[in-house]
Amino acid sequence: MMCCAYCGQPATTKIVSNPEQVCFEHALEFWTGLLAYTRGRSDPCLKHERLCTCRACEELSRSQLRAFAIAVAGPSPPDHERFQIRLAS
């Protein structure tokens, strides 16, 4: 069993960092810090008060728009089905 690079305790968890093998306490500290960092960088969400421009809502609206466009277009034709393509000349 590997040891935690920070304290020498048995490493029980992997994190997305170098070194990746750490103990539970240091993994919890890493993820808590990462979440605090990302929340600090994002704009507050105001979707219930007015049109929201935070990154999360903008990404969600783009994703919903793509899903709607795909649903309207319908499934792509099967490989064995022939269809006409107009030449651009």
- What is the pLDDT at residue 43? 62
> For the segment 25-78, what is each residue's pLDDT rounded down to a tens digit?
999 999 999 888 877 766 666 666 666 667 777 777 777 888 888 888 877 777
Which own/partner pairs from 76-80 qualify as long-range (CB within 8 Å, at least 24 positions apart)? Answer: none
The H-or-E segment that residue 60 falls in is helix 55-73
- What is the pLDDT at residue 21? 92
Query: What's the farthest any 2 CA atoms get from each other in the chain?
Result: 71
Whether the pTM exceeds 0.85: the reply is no
